[in-house]
Structure 1
Amino acid sequence: MPHLGSTVHLRALAAATLRPRQTTPPRRPPSAERVVIVSASVGAGHDGAAAELERRLVASGLTVDRFDLLDVLPARLGRLVRDGYHRLLVRAPWAYQRIYSSTERAGGGGLLARTLLRSAEERLLRALPADTGAVVSTYPGASRVLGNLRLDGRLPAPVLTYLTDFSVHPLWVADGVDVHLALHAVPAAQARAAGARDVRVCGPVADPRFRPVAAPERAAARARFGLPENAPLALLVAGSWGVGPVRQVARDLRDCGAAVPLVVCGRNGTLADQLRADGIEHVHGWVDDMPGLMHAADVLVQNAGGLTSLEAFAAGLPVASYGCIPGHGLTNAAALDEAGVAAWIRDPAQLKHVLGELIDGPRGLLQREAGLALFAGNPHGPDRGPATETAGICRTGTGPLTAAPAARRTTRPAARRLATTTALACAVWAGAVGTAVATTESGPGLMHAIGQGFDLDNPGHAHHAGHLSHEGYAKGRHA
């Protein structure tokens, strides 16, 4: 992944003394044209979108401050949330799928999650500069916190949510948020279905280094990374954490013969060692020159549908979703497929054929065009991107709130019935943080026992860490 830049850390937050890092254009006096971006260091995608949005807003002449919501949570709870989420994805992905599905059906998180986010409201409000003109969230939890502050009349500045994914979980849509900015018509429709009122299709943001290149630059990129000159290359990514069935996918890519696998493991050094032991020749850890790798590759194979997919679209690289992680990985794969910008390969038997079409066939050409078109503007004009919309709202406001306090969504009976399930899911999540309950290398441990009890619909469920089949990933919520 590309370097994401610094994010304000609020762990030392004390009463009203905190002030965030400020990024101010040179030779511009202080003004009310200030935007605050609230992200979260959960993986790298939310921070990556925030960093690029910050760069563009600063270039347009605004002052920008950036916060990490996890640092606002009291008592270092943010670190526990981040580590718990990571452990779930690595050790018990089936449990994460169940949490994701239950909160999706309920239209949002349970009581425990709401209480946790409520604890951040006053702390974040005290951190916001007095001259804040607009606040942008790139993380669902931040949208909930900011929406509540807006509804209660404590935050006068308009709030925008930048939907960083192609699929929109109901947690993304918070009452009190003035505007939701969507990448494409597909996530825009999902946001409206979840209750968002003012939804604007603005397209994605990506570092300008991600761009199509000609043959000489492509050859130079391959030489720089020591890659084959002429063989087709499939760039396999799994986010900054290197999660999902990456080893199996890499072997599938190698064995199908459609392309040579080129794997980026993020910060997962153990995964990199395992792949090299499997005989995968081209393996990288954390990569600062991700644009260069994309310039060298012929197709991107991804499992989460986040920022890296958008960067591939900007680089003119066709994208395939395969071996997707549970939850947002599956829903993003479905949304990308519906939008026509990425192929979703559900069956390993289809891998060679689909990759061949993407690398050398008309399907690849069509997907390259569709991906690049995301960055070519929208019906409101070629310059109406997320940064332009944000700058305009900061300078002019949005008018009345899109949702008044009296218009808060009421809890449906189904949501109330799921409250206990969601609370239990959160308990499993929290429990995953402690090594005493985490799955161990020698056996499933207590975490698996908890999971057996949690799997109410399938008491005989026997999957545990790292052993989900391709079929299990492909079915997801469409099973």
Structure 2
Amino acid sequence: MKKVLLLSCSTGQGHNSCAKAIKEYFLLQGVTCELWDVLDFISVRLAAFISWGHSFVYRHLPGLFQWGYTYCEKKPSILADGSFVYNFLASRTEKLRQYIVEEEYDTVICTHQIAAIMLDNIQKNSAIAVPGAFVATDYTCYPGLYACYLEKNFIASQLQIEAFVQCGIPPDKLMVSGIPVRPEILQHREKAAAKRQLGIKENSIDLLIMFGSMGCGPMKKILRHIVEKLPEQAEVSVICGSNQRLYRSLKRQYGTDRRIHIVGYTDKISLYMDAADLYLTKPGGISVTEAAVKNLPMVFINTVAGCEEYNMDFFLKMGAAVTADTPEQVAAKSIDLLHSPAKRQEMEEELRRYSQPNGAAHIYQVLQQE
């Protein structure tokens, strides 16, 4: 394996983050890697529109997102070989096929099911012999995988094997690797030192709040309830991501409160996680995996459902997270845990027992043996 093409899809940052983590590790091993949004091979304008549309629905119409995901789960034929969606993607694969051949890639890795469907179609209908792999970024199988069967499918844990087999993927094509995270997430800083770097009191209990790169969900309501009952020794770090409107609103409301740290988009997520004692988040696949690597107890707000509901259930059953139905109840759960170091310690121990592997390293080792 000398030259790898990574195919992601800009529908949220999770798939891109996973692909970037793989790319970073592979580059360190001396492998040439390129990362592309697979939609760019269809149409750059379409890619921009789908990215915008996904962000809009995800942030403003989560119920519609959930309906669409559930519909695809119940009727997988909508994405199967011969369906309108499959045929549309299949009819747009020639540009991707030519690129793979001309650039002489010897391996193609997909971190999104659209990319996997397109690569699978290329392998079925042309003489191309490049090995293909799919990497899951959530703790479940996806409806789109009913339509594609790549040589290798890397998944989060042993507990997801049955779900992928039910999607029609043979067990011998499944490899448990863990979900790849950026190398910096694998580095652990001492908690007090991390707090000092971020301007958080060393002896405080720090609650980190982040609802994905788009900053979606009822963050303002939850934060209001938390601030009302925040323990005296506690501080809150709120990461708004790319949601500038939310950032400006919270900055106006809490800018003078020294206990509340309002942050926009930042490249210091790893440092904020190292400083945190508790993490309030939506259960995105990358977010929860990064927290698991950091042994960071979690409180979930299920803002979107879909595949994130499976992520949430995985860590709830483990005993490493809690959740509730309403913003007020989620805030109450968070306050209870801020008051309970013993319970937080129990949750940390569950995460240590889970022992999330280095996903990118495992994927490299498997593919390098081919």
For 1:195 and 1:340, the matched residues in 2 are separated by 30
Determine the C-alpha separation between the residues in 2 that align with 1:322 and 1:372: 23
Counterpart residue number, 2:332: 352
Offset, 1:95: 1.3
- Report what 1:298 is aligned to: 277
Q: How does 1:32-47 map to 2 (within 5 A)?
A: 33-47=2-16
Aligned residues of 1:163 and 1:172 also touching (Cα < 8 A): no
- Cα deviation code 1:282-332 (max 9, x no counterpart): 111111111111121111111132212212222221122124323233332
1:359 CA displacement: 7.3
CA distance in 2, matches of 1:138, 1:292: 26
The residue number in structure 2 matching 1:333 is 312
1:268 maps to a residue whose letter is N
Q: What residue in structure 2 maps to residue 20 of structure 1?
A: none
Is residue 160–residue 177 contact of structure 1 (8 Å, CA) maintained in 2? yes
Residue in 1 aligned with 2:247?
272
Aligned mates of 2:339, 2:297 — CA distance in 1: 8
Once the two structures are TM-superposed, the CA of residue 99 in structure 1 deviates from its matched residue by 0.8
Q: Decide which of 64, 70, 95 is 1:95's aligned counterpart.
A: 64
Change (3 A) 1:309 1:149: same
- 1:170-209 → structure 2 map (5 Å cutoff): 170-197=143-170, 198-209=173-184
Give the corresponding residue for 2:261: 282
Query: Is residue 23–residue 33 contact of structure 2 (8 Å, CA) maintained in 1?
Result: yes
1:267 shift after superposition: 0.9
Measured after TM superposition, the shift of residue 219 of structure 1 is 2.6
Maintained 8 Å contact 1:160/1:390 = no
- Larger CA Rg, structure 1 vs 2: 1
Give, as a single letter, the amino acid of the residue that structure 1 aligns with 2:322.
A
How far is 1:392 from its partner? 3.5
Q: Which residue of 1 aligns with 2:134?
A: 161
- Secondary structure of 2:5's aligned partner: strand
The one-letter code sitting in structure 1 at the alignment partner of 2:220 is R
In structure 1, the residue matched to 2:300 is 321
For residues 99-124 of structure 1, the C-alpha deviation after alignment (integer angstroms, 9 at most, x for no partner) is: 11111111264545334422431111
Q: Normalising by the residue count of structure 2, what TM-score does the alignment of the two structures yield?
A: 0.86
Q: Who is 1:52 aligned against?
A: 21
Q: Which has the higher helix share?
A: 2
Q: 1:187 to 1:249 in 2, by over 3 A?
A: farther
State the match for 2:238 in structure 1.
263
Work out whether 1:85 is the aligned partner of 2:54: yes
Aligned counterpart, 2:216: 243
Instruction: Give the whole-Å Cα distance in 2 for the aligned partners of 1:193 and 1:148.
Output: 21
CA distance in 1, matches of 2:57, 2:86: 20
- Counterparts of 2:339 and 2:7 in 1: how far apart (Å)? 38
Instruction: Give the deviation of 1:209 after TM superposition.
Output: 2.4
C-alpha distance in 2 between matches for 1:94 and 1:141 = 22
AA at the equivalent of 1:156: A
Distance 2:117 2:217 in 1: 28
**Paired residues of 1:302 and 1:324 also in contact (CA < 8 A):** no
Gaps of 5+ in 2: none
Residue in 2 that maps onto 1:145: 118
- Provide the rounded CA distance (Å) in 1 between the counterparts of 2:127 and 2:320: 41
Distance 1:148 1:283 in 2: 46
Separation in 1, partners of 2:175, 2:242:
35
How many residue pairs get aligned? The number is 357
Aligned equivalent of 1:118 = 90
Q: Distance in 2 between matches of 1:359 and 1:196?
A: 45
Displacement of 1:374 in angstroms is 5.0
Identity percentage of aligned residues: 22
Please give the alpha-carbon distance, in whole angstroms, between the structure 1 residues aligned to 2:330 and 2:267. Answer: 32
5+ residue gaps, structure 1: 1-31, 378-382, 397-479
Name whichever of 73-82 and 357-366 sits farther off. 357-366
SS at match of 2:33: strand
TM-score under structure 1 normalisation? 0.68
- Find the partner of 1:210 among 185, 192, 198: 185
Residue identity in the other structure for 1:209: E
User: Partners of 2:94 and 2:263 in 1: how far apart?
Assistant: 42
> Conserved in 1, the CA contact under 8 Å of 2:226 and 2:334?
no
Q: 1:173 to 1:264 in 2, by over 3 A?
A: farther
Q: Hey, what's the Cα distance between the residues in 1 that align with 2:105 and 2:76? A: 30
8 Å Cα contact 1:188/1:199 also seen in 2: yes
**How does 1:372-451 map onto structure 2 within 5 Å?**
372-375=352-355, 377=357, 385-396=359-370
Whether contact under 8 Å (1:334, 1:344) holds in the other structure is: no
- Contact 1:39–1:46 (Cα < 8 Å) also in 2: yes
Q: Is the 8 A contact 2:59 2:214 kept in 1?
A: no
Q: In structure 2, how many angstroms separate the alpha carbons of the residues matched to 1:109 and 1:133?
A: 31
1:347-398, CA deviations, whole angstroms, 9 ceiling, x for partnerless residues? 5436534664477444433432443455554xxxxx8x444444533552xx
The answer to whether the aligner puts 1:222 opposite 2:195 as a matched pair is yes
Q: 2:199 aligns to what SS in structure 1?
A: coil
Contact 1:137 1:161 (8 Å CA) reproduced: yes
How far is the alpha carbon of 1:173 from its aligned partner? 4.8
